[in-house]
Homo-oligomer: A and B are copies of this chain.
């Protein structure tokens, strides 16, 4: 028997992660039927993604595809509004055009939101109704997922925890404000602080130095954790989520920044409803897994419309 399957694509600057999974209505994450990476098509992105989709879905009955994109997406129309990393996609009607080429419904979504939905549904937030996910890297992306759906505000721009001001009169931020959380714990800020203190290497080297009790690393990392804790106290007061999931390059194993931040929040909280602050579980595949989740929803909706 041919299996009904959905395909999730997570399109990055240099490679596309793909993940094929059986159609399911279960709450459990479906196992991958196939999973891998392919180079991001350089020339004609729609034709390139169509070819990839055909190749990895040979032998299954494909019901739906979702494509996660690093940029601003008009989810309703399936268009890419703007992608800094993939300018070839700018303004492209990716959803409808890819759907025409491969003959199944295609949904387009932002990659950070895809990862947040994946963590909320099948990752560190599984089983909790109200999940706030942070991704710490060069920038800081936040997304609030309630009942599996991103709560994104009146203009789709809620969740910008990276641009909450932590240090009034602090360093200038790329956004034009001073003292945003990103000016303290964004990867470039940590890199600068570490280098100014005489440290060598990337933030990962700094975290390793922290584990070896290097006093310079301890000071920078503790300050980062306290700044993140300040922002999280504001988040608890305003949004009151049920769990906070922290992922991204700066929060990966050994998760030191996450555990220090959780301790700092617990120590400073007063009236706040303190919730678990936990590391993300799905790692670098979260975007592709979130695209699979989105494709499952799309397949279920299409089936209902037909029935």
Q: Which residues of A contact B (CB under 8 A)?
A: 128-130, 142, 151-161, 163-168, 175-177, 230, 233-235, 237-242, 268, 270-271, 273, 275
Complexed CA–CA distance, A240 and B177 (Å) = 17
Whether B230 pairs with A155 at a CB distance below 8 angstroms is no
Judged by DSSP, the binding face of A is loop
Complexed CA–CA distance, A233 and B271 (Å) = 22
Q: Which residues of B contact A155 (CB under 8 A)?
A: 240, 242, 273
Whether A157 pairs with B273 at a CB distance below 8 angstroms is yes
Residue contacts A-B, CB under 8 angstroms, 24 given: A151-B151, A153-B241, A153-B273, A154-B241, A154-B275, A155-B240, A155-B242, A155-B273, A156-B240, A157-B273, A158-B238, A158-B240, A159-B238, A159-B240, A164-B234, A165-B230, A166-B168, A168-B230, A175-B270, A175-B271, A176-B270, A177-B268, A234-B234, A239-B239
| Copies of chain A in the complex | 2
Interface centre among A151, A160, A161, A237 (most CB of B within 10 A): A237
Q: Which residues of B contact A239 (CB under 8 A)?
A: 153, 158, 238-239
Complexed CA–CA distance, A159 and B164 (Å) = 16
Complexed CA–CA distance, A271 and B142 (Å) = 15
Chain B residue with the shortest CB-CB distance to A160: B237
Complexed CA–CA distance, A168 and B230 (Å) = 10
Complexed CA–CA distance, A153 and B157 (Å) = 18
